[in-house]
Amino acid sequence: MTRKKIFAANWKMNNMTAEVATFFGAIGDSCVALKDREVIVTPSFPYLAQAAALAKGKNITLAAQNFHFEENGAFTGEVSLTMLADLGIRTVLIGHSERRHVMGESHEHLRKKVAFAQKKGFRTIFCIGETLAQREKGELFAVIDMQLSSAFDGNLTCPPEDMVIAYEPVWAIGTGVNATGAQAQEMHDYVRKFMDKHYGRKDITILYGGSVKPDNVKELMTMPDIDGALVGGASLKADSFSKLIFWDR
Ligand code: 13P
């Protein structure tokens, strides 16, 4: 099966009204005819509606960086999947290292988010990745096993295309030090085999994230098990993000 490549911009807590307008103005219609790859943008919540209006007709998918696993109610500061659906959004990030390590989201919390996203028919980009200390201690594969099995055990019911995994080594995020093509490929191959063995999902889409830039994108994207990129810093402006989307042109 040929897996469609995905280039996803994770803007994190960056880009406001003017930058959002500039980004969509600059990216223009460049993605309209794309068929072999999908472009995703995840703005901060206050700008989702603005971005959704600007992305209309541009063949760019909007996604959300976060949500809460309850339907609605007394959850100050949280955003529900029903609200996202109301804006036409059906793709969400779960398990980003900043949510795990900075916001303290536990395996159990993430398991609930995965279950709820599936129940509501959302597509999930589920992020995994080891810290440098874990890699140096030889715990790399054990950490990934734990992150995958704690989130999915008995819980992976969505259609195959609705579960995308993003391997983002924590030491590569925002550091300028990306995993080499070989390091990333080793893990993507491992994750693909893990998902096949435990869930029968051999053709799952697996993205790489962590300091993806125009000068390393080719090395990463030519690896057989890397199906695209989840990008922070280099996705904030249309010119650098376009160089990633169109890395092979
Ligand atoms: P950088 O591309 O800035 O390293 O961020 C990666 C990331 O965390 C994407 O989710």
Query: Per-residue confidence at 153, pLDDT binned at 50, 70, 90?
Result: confident
Kindly report, residue by residue over 8-42, the tens digit of the pLDDT: 999 999 999 999 999 999 999 999 999 999 999 99
- pLDDT average, residue stretch 47-57: 97
Any catalytic annotation for residue 109? no
**List of domains in the chain:** 11-77+89-97+107-245 (3.20.20.70)
pLDDT over 90 (residue 2): no
Catalytic residue among 38, 130, 168, 188: 168
Rounded to whole angstroms, the Cα distance separating 141 from 144 reads 5
**84, 92 in Cβ contact below 8 A?**
yes
Instruction: Name the pLDDT band for 244 (thresholds 50, 70, 90).
Output: very high
pLDDT higher than 90, residue 154? no
- 107 tagged catalytic: no
- For 171, phi then psi, to 5°, come to -70, -10
Say yes or no: CB of residue 211 within 6 Å of ligand 1: yes
For residue 55, pLDDT over 80 is answered with yes
Pocket test for ligand 1, best of 10, 93, 96, 98 (most atoms within 8 A of CB): 10
Condensed to tens digits (0 to 9), the pLDDT of residues 61-87 reads 999 999 999 999 999 999 999 999 999
- Output phi, psi for 197, to 5 deg: -65, -45
Distance CA(171)–CA(133), nearest Å, equals: 9
- Which DSSP state fits 100? I
pLDDT, mean of residues 139-168: 94
Instruction: Evaluate if residue 155 carries a pLDDT over 90.
Output: no
Catalytic residue, chosen from 38, 96, 105, 188, is: 96
Q: What is the pLDDT of residues 177-204, one digit of tens each?
A: 999 999 999 999 999 999 999 999 989 9
Q: How far from each other are the two terminal CA atoms of the chain, in whole angstroms?
A: 23
- What pLDDT does 1 receive? 61
- pLDDT above 80: residue 110: yes
